[in-house]
Amino acid sequence: MVSLGVNIDHVATLRNARGTDYPDPLQAALIAEKSGADGITAHLREDRRHIRDEDILRLKEHIQTRLNLEMANTAEMLEFALKVQPYMVTLVPERREEITTEGGLDVLRFENELKQCTQILQDASIMVSLFIEPNPLHLEASQRIGATIVEFHTGRYCHQFDAQGHAPNELSALMQAASDAVAAGIEVNAGHGLNYHNVGPILALPGLVELNIGHSLIAEAVFAGLGPAVHRMKERLISMAL
């Protein structure tokens, strides 16, 4: 069955909006775990706009599942990851002016740098995932880098699906990319923009291991509570896999 990674970044966004110490991202992570999450994902951005260093340290100490640290490929972030030793690092692109991550890594342009970072993390026994577009050239570059896991960016699929109720072209690209990854011996994860309505077709991706979902769950939590929101998504993944 596909695992559910819950991204708690926007709990920290809400906390930081008023400069308080609540809501607590760690409390959110513990509720998510209790409600069926198989792992916790958090993006430590260079500008610390939501998750902060101390959040990651507390998550690493207290959660009972797996910590997936999303980060940019910078010397500062690499040093921090080696200190914290999360279960997995997902390398993502990052621009200060973006609202959220807007696409996959430019693995062709930064292949050498990503290869070096990936090797250092893997040598420290940290699993590494590359957040990439469902593009054959990017997948081939990821293979050359030495990636054993990729997370396919589902943003374009979700945008088209939510606007039209279906997204055949984007889904086809994801299906082919996942199939190619499996053939290359690379584990397949996916995420970005997924919600209760558009997640179903994504579950058919060949070799899919994990989905990382955040914003839609935190949004639903405003009305239903975080526990029920995560539980509902977990139940949806289970029921659609049967």
Helix (H, G, I), strand (E, B) or coil at 200: helix
**What is the Rg, in whole angstroms, of the alpha carbon atoms belonging to the chain?**
17
Helix (H, G, I), strand (E, B) or coil at 230: helix
Question: Strands, E, within 146-199: which ranges?
Answer: 149-153, 187-191
Catalytic residues: 43, 70, 192
CA nearest to 219, candidates 236, 201, 194, 198: 194
* Rounded (to 5) percent helix, strand, coil in the chain: 50, 15, 35
- Whole-Å CA distances, 227 to 35, 121, 231: 5, 33, 6
DSSP class of residue 7 equals E
**Residue linked to tokens 């955040």:** 214
Contact yes or no for 203/6 (Cβ under 8 A): no
Measured distance CA(97)–CA(152) in Å, rounded: 22
What tokens were used for 49?
């706009």
